[in-house]
Amino acid sequence: MSNIVAKAQQAVMGSQGDKSNDLAKETKEISDKDRLTTDYGVKQSSADDWLKVTSQDKQGPALLEDPFARERIMRFDHERIPERVVHARGAGAFGTFRVLESPSDLTFAPVLTDTSRETPVFVRFSTVLGSRGSADTVRDVRGFAIKFYTQEGNWDLVGNNIPVFFIQDAIKFPDVIHAAKPEPHNEVPQAQTAHNNFWDFQFNHTEATHMFMWAMSDRATPRSYRMMQGFGVNTFTLLNAKGERHFVKFVYTPTLGVHSLVWDEALKLAGQDPDFHRKDLWEAIENKAFPKWKFGVQAIPEADEHKFDFDILDATKIWPEDLVPVRYFAELELNKNPDEFFTQVEQIAFCTSHVVPGIGFSDDPLLQGRNFSYFDTQISRLGVNWQELPINRPVCPVMNFNRDGQLRHTITRGTVNYYPNRFDAVKPATVKEGAYVEYAEKVAGLKARARSAKFKEHFSQAQLFWNTMSQVEKNHIINAFAFELDHCEDPVVYERMVNRLADIDIGLATTVAEMVGGDPPKEATRPNHGRKAPGISMLEFPGEKPTIMSRRIAILIADGYDPVAYNAAYGAASAAMAVPFVIGPRRAKVMSAGGLHSVTPHHHFEGYRSTMVDAIFIPGGVDAIRTLSTNGRAQHWVREAFGHLKAIGATGEAVDFVNKCIALPAVTVSDSEEAHESYGVVTMRHIKPDGLRDAVNIAKGCTGFF
Ligand code: HDD
């Protein structure tokens, strides 16, 4: 019998620890050697014509008897599966998780302690509210879910890019999502929080106050999935070999820094390039600019659970980093794009309930509800055997007596499918063999539909967040509220919300009210404690070192461009692993000054937009600049890039062109022979190779910050 079990196990598992090999077994490559067949393997002679009764001069009816045509149409008719009820829009990639320094005082989980391991992972990023086809850059929370294919089973860490949540108790999830999704009568608006129902709910649920401050901040308009932090949000537990337990929050911080789009860019990109984030991730991985995150935890010993003025099991609260610092000990790298979107990114399915020995849950009421919801939703989305799908199956052995159901895939040999059985087959594992054992937590209390006292305080951390923001971040938050509440037509909604803002900051409330209407109180309705905390302002995360690696740089040219400046800039950007895009008046040969060189631009001025790049560079050239000066769109490129705080470089005749486009007295575009930088505009009359390097360096710094 054990032989049979071993064989069956082999059929289910991949080669140990290696998810790529496991997936390779199910992956087919298309080639010109392939011949078209039906799903049942019979070769087909035509993919163009349905079987018909026909003759040369008369077209007769199509025949229902044609099994080939019927199969194609039937398969097509059933291609769609339900999209995720939230987080429907997303992108994903494979990667690796490595432990750099073992936190064995916190946990015995090998995935978090074994420094010799490389655990394969799949990460799916997402927006929350939009449908599968919605735009990437909308204002929204981003999902950041990691599936760790560990030797001890799959561990799913289903996090977001914001460390807190709207609600404390999972029972409210349907309400917060219904209120945020398109309204029920007309299914409007798509992928937006800017509507009556969302803000009506926020007002009626004071516990959402902290979270909506984050959602109105620049965190909700990331520049790239690669430039977002990730947070497990809920409170988990780690168990060490001595049996000691810590409460933990998982944190992952990108080495590229935390950066956002400005709102105007995000709005425009939603139309100009709805796949902006999806493409950005793909492009970076293809260019081998592998995104990386430092991975760590905030940990609180079990004995200290009640030492804080907030409940550490409340998902609407952060653990301020001055009280509980983050301890980084591992790194996460994404290094391989998926082969096929549907079978990998769409079919991947996460469950917060899936943890491995050494990692556990807490009594966080949001987490406990989530632990029910995820498995359940996968059944309706993918079917009960969803864990057998290639992207979801573990790389370690799987064996049990869960059987049958729709689309059961595994064939298990043996005459019994229950335990205990006369063969002693498929016995429960011992602790030594790696069994998951629940922590023996002592629980006592009365059953009640209630939350503990500290869960009732809802404003303190909303103020903490606001107090900590830099002035620039505050301005962006004010503008976000002004935009959102302006989209609420019902005065009850925006007037009440303006009042609610006075619970956080009276300046915020009055400034927003001036724009959207409403009558806020004259004074703050709640005293501000004045506290700030580290780890909240994005400015604290500029990145490990300034880099233009994987940043897009547009080089604007026209006939007569200066080939020396062009080549130098293109070369410098490529050498720094940035992604240069040449933009010209047409996607056909553009001749340099002197006619010795030519370039075929990647895009033309109308086909691409400044929103899609991080910086622009314009080489001089008398004729080229004459053309750009009479081209409204080329001027718009410069103005818009400047308005979005992007680095702009110009040499030779392009200096005057940029100067004219910007035309702001505060910005001095220098006439200097040397490289000169002002407001992120880098200019040089006469180029020198060194000066260009300066320009690229300055561009690095500038693109890093906005
Ligand atoms: Fe959730 C998906 C993150 C609360 C119920 N959630 C989902 C995804 C992420 C999160 C990243 C997408 C996973 C993927 O890429 O497939 N959710 C969170 C976070 C939460 C949270 C960080 C708060 C701490 N979620 C939450 C609650 C419930 C759900 C309270 C229900 C009680 N979430 C779901 C779901 C989804 C989901 C309906 C939809 C698709 C899926 O699970 O697989 O079950």
Residue 697 sits in a domain whose CATH number is: 3.40.50.880
Ligand 1 centroid distance, CA of 145 (Å): 9
Place of tokens 């561990």: 155
Residues 563 and 529 in one domain: no
Domain range spanning residue 502?
Answer: 469-540
pTM of the prediction? 0.94
| Residues 586 and 510 both lie in one domain | no
pLDDT value of residue 527: 94
Q: Quick one: three-class SS letters along 207-275?
A: HHHHHHHHHCCHHHCECCHHHCCEECCCCEEEECCCCCEEEEEEEEEECCCCCECCHHHHHHHHHHCCC
The distance between the two most distant Cα atoms of the chain, rounded to a whole number of Å, is 91
Q: Ligand 1 pocket, 373 CB below 6 A? A: yes
pLDDT of residue 473: 97
pLDDT tens sequence across 317-345: 999 999 999 999 999 999 999 999 999 99
366 CB less than 6 Å from ligand 1?
A: yes
Asked if 241 and 276 sit in the same domain, the reply is yes
Under the banding of pLDDT at 50, 70 and 90, the label for residue 687 is: low
Flag whether 640 is in a domain.
yes
Q: What percent of the chain has pLDDT over 70?
A: 93
Residue 329 parent element (H or E):
strand 327-336
- pLDDT per residue as tens digits for the range 278-290: 999 999 999 999 9
Residue owning tokens 């959102």: 484
**Residue 623, domain member (yes or no):** yes
Confidence tier at 663 by pLDDT (50, 70, 90)? confident
Distance 86 CA to ligand 1 centre (A): 7
pLDDT at 188 exceeding the cut of 50: yes
Which pLDDT belongs to residue 674? 62
Cβ neighbours for 274, distance < 8 A, ≥ 6 positions apart: 133, 134, 135, 136, 137
Q: Among 209-213, 228-232, 456-460, 694-698, where is mean pLDDT lowest?
A: 694-698
CATH number at residue 512: 1.20.1370.20
Amino acid present at 494: Y
Domain boundary among 356, 388, 420: 388
Angle between helices 263-272 and 471-486 (to 10 degrees): 50
Average pLDDT over residues 236-247: 98
Average confidence (pLDDT) over 127-147: 98
In a domain, 198, yes or no: yes
**Pair (479, 561) in one structural domain:** no
**ipTM > 0.90, yes or no:** yes
Question: Does 495 share its domain with 611?
Answer: no
Within 8 A by CB and 6+ apart from 189, the residues are 182, 183, 195, 487
Report CA-CA distances (Å) from 558 to 124, 595, 597, 629.
41, 12, 12, 11
Active site residue 479: no
The reply to whether 225 and 164 lie within a common domain is yes
Q: How far apart are CA 86 and CA 100, in angstroms?
A: 34
pLDDT at position 217, please?
Answer: 98
Instruction: State the CB neighbour count (10 A cutoff) for residue 668.
Output: 14
The active-site residue out of 154, 160, 197, 385 is 160
> What's the pLDDT tens digit per position in 496-533?
999 999 999 999 999 999 999 999 999 999 999 999 99
Structure-block tokens of residue 490: 């019902």
What do you get for the CA distance between the two ends of the chain, in Å? Answer: 63
Among 447, 434, 366, CA closest to 394: 434
Q: Is the pLDDT of residue 704 over 90?
A: no
Instruction: For residue 225, say whether it is annotated as part of any ligand binding site.
Output: no
Domain identity same for 94 and 198? yes
Tell which of 495, 515, 540 closes a domain.
Answer: 540
DSSP SS3 for 332 = strand
Residues 619 and 690 in one domain: yes
State how many domains the chain has.
Answer: 3
Instruction: Report whether 121 contacts 344 (CB < 8 A).
Output: no
672 located within any domain? yes
Query: Does 253 lie in the same domain as 283?
Result: yes
By most ligand atoms within 8 Å of CB, the mutation choice from 83, 84, 366 for ligand 1 is: 84
Does 314 or 667 have the greater pLDDT score?
314
Average pLDDT over residues 202-221: 98
| Residue 397 vs residue 675, higher pLDDT | 397
529 and 560 inside one domain: no
pLDDT of the residue at 9: 43
Determine, yes or no, domain membership for 444. Answer: no
Calpha distance 153→181 (Å, rounded): 34
How far does the centroid of ligand 1 lie from the alpha carbon of residue 165, in Å? 11
Residue 36 lies in a domain: no
pLDDT digits (tens, 9 = 90+) for 630-650: 999 999 999 999 999 898 999
CA dihedral of residues 313, 316, 319, 320 (deg, nearest 10): -160
Q: Per-residue pLDDT for 161 more than 70? A: yes
Question: In terms of domains, do 184 and 251 share one?
Answer: yes
Q: Quick one: 536 and 567 in the same domain?
A: no
Q: What is the pLDDT of residue 60?
A: 93
Residue 290 lies in a domain: yes
State the pLDDT at residue 684.
81
